[in-house]
Amino acid sequence: MKSNTGSIDRVVRILAGLALVAWAAVFHGPVWAYIGIVPLATGLIGWCPAYTILGINTCKK
């Protein structure tokens, strides 16, 4: 897999994912907030399957 997410994109994904998971786990938010695992994972690995399908690349490499 070739990285297709840039550094700012990755940071935003990680922060959004952490916020959603924390909302669900710590603050007893709705169960759907666990969807934050997806942006968290894509931010950590640096590859987004949706970007591949859509032909988007925010990585400057």
Residue 43 DSSP class? H
Structure-block tokens of residue 26: 């710590």
Question: Which residue range forms the structural domain that includes residue 28?
Answer: 7-54
Look at residue 60 in the predicted model and tell me its pLDDT: 86
Q: Is residue 1 part of a domain?
A: no
Decide if 45 contacts 13 (C-beta within 8 A): no
Tens of pLDDT, residue by residue over 3-31, are 999 999 999 999 999 999 999 999 999 99
Domain count, the chain: 1
pTM recorded for the entire structure: 0.91
Q: Is residue 2 part of a domain?
A: no
- Give the residue-averaged pLDDT of 24-49: 97
How far is 28 from 6, CA to CA, in rounded Å? 32
CA 36-8-11 angle, to 5 degrees, is 35
Q: Is residue 46 part of a domain?
A: yes
